[in-house]
Amino acid sequence: LTVLLLLSACTSKQSVYEKAIADYVQTDQRGTFTDLKFKALSIEKTTDITVTDSLKMLQTEFEKLRDEQIASQQRTLDYFNGLITDNQAAKYVKQAVDNQLNRSIAITQAQIDSLRKLPATDSDCYKGRSLTEVVSVVVKCRYSYTMPGNGAAKERTDNFILSPDGKRVLGKKKSANL
């Protein structure tokens, strides 16, 4: 009896995941549903994402974007410095050009300094929540679908990020990314 109840609970969770994933896969960005004859071939819950995990992901993404912005601003700064050097090496130095370039350099340097001082992530959305609370689950799903029109059946495997109850897909990652 215990085994039967456990099997029933697992099957019920699997069907919740399957319904959410099927709806997600068959609905485009405009909300239009297309029957792709979706069939889940295998569904495996791979991991829970906790508040701590989410904060780490947000931190990593923030640092990546911030570093890209700093690198871009640094290239701009290097370009302006090169222009100043070229202008000063010219036979007739243009003071107005030097002044404008110096203003641009100061503004760009201030932007770089501001980016470096920017606080990491705003964790207010997690205020009052336990760091171990599960905020989403990752489910690996191998599925088949048929494209309308040509009727070609295809298979793919993706990792889906679902709400903790498994009823809503929050996003999708190509397999092996999570």
* Residue 168 resides in a domain: yes
Residues 70 and 156 in one domain: no
Residues 108 and 140 in one domain: no
| 169: exposed, middle or buried (Cβ count in 10 Å: 0-12, 13-18, 19+) | buried
* Residue 86 resides in a domain: yes
Residue 170 has pLDDT above 90, yes or no: yes
Residue 2 has pLDDT above 80, yes or no: no
Residues 67 and 120 in one domain: yes
Residue 93 pLDDT? 66
In the chain, how many domains are there? Answer: 2
Residue 4 pLDDT? 38
Q: What is the dihedral of CA 38, 41, 42, 43, to 10 degrees?
A: 10
Q: Determine the structural domain holding residue 96 and report its residue range.
A: 62-126
Give the DSSP H or E segment for 60.
helix 51-89
Residue 176 has pLDDT above 80, yes or no: no
Per-residue pLDDT tens digits for 10-46: 557 788 999 999 999 999 999 999 889 999 999 999 9
Residues 121 and 67 in one domain: yes
Boundary residue ending a domain (109, 126, 143): 126
Residues 45 and 71 in one domain: no
The SS3 assignment for 2 reads helix
Per-residue pLDDT tens digits for 46-63: 999 999 998 888 888 889
* Residue 57 resides in a domain: no
Residue 155 has pLDDT above 50, yes or no: yes
* Residue 157 resides in a domain: yes
Residues 74 and 44 in one domain: no
Interatomic CA distance for residues 148 and 56, integer angstroms: 40
30 against 4, higher pLDDT? 30
Residue 125 pLDDT? 79
CB 21 within 8 A of CB 141: yes
- When pLDDT is cut at 50, 70 and 90, the band that residue 5 belongs to is very low
How many Cβ atoms from other residues are within 10 Å of residue 68's Cβ?
Answer: 11
Residues 47 and 134 in one domain: yes
Residues 46 and 133 in one domain: yes
Boundary residue ending a domain (110, 126, 142): 126
* Residue 155 resides in a domain: yes
* Residue 56 resides in a domain: no
Residues 119 and 135 in one domain: no
Residues 150 and 134 in one domain: yes
* Residue 164 resides in a domain: yes
* Residue 98 resides in a domain: yes
- When pLDDT is cut at 50, 70 and 90, the band that residue 133 belongs to is very high
Residue 175 pLDDT? 54
- When pLDDT is cut at 50, 70 and 90, the band that residue 174 belongs to is low
What number is the average pLDDT over the span 130-148?
A: 93
What number is the average pLDDT over the span 155-167?
A: 95
Residues 120 and 67 in one domain: yes
Taking only Cα atoms into account, the Rg of the chain, rounded to an integer number of angstroms, comes to 26
Per-residue pLDDT tens digits for 76-111: 999 988 988 887 777 676 877 888 888 999 999 999
Residue 3 pLDDT? 41
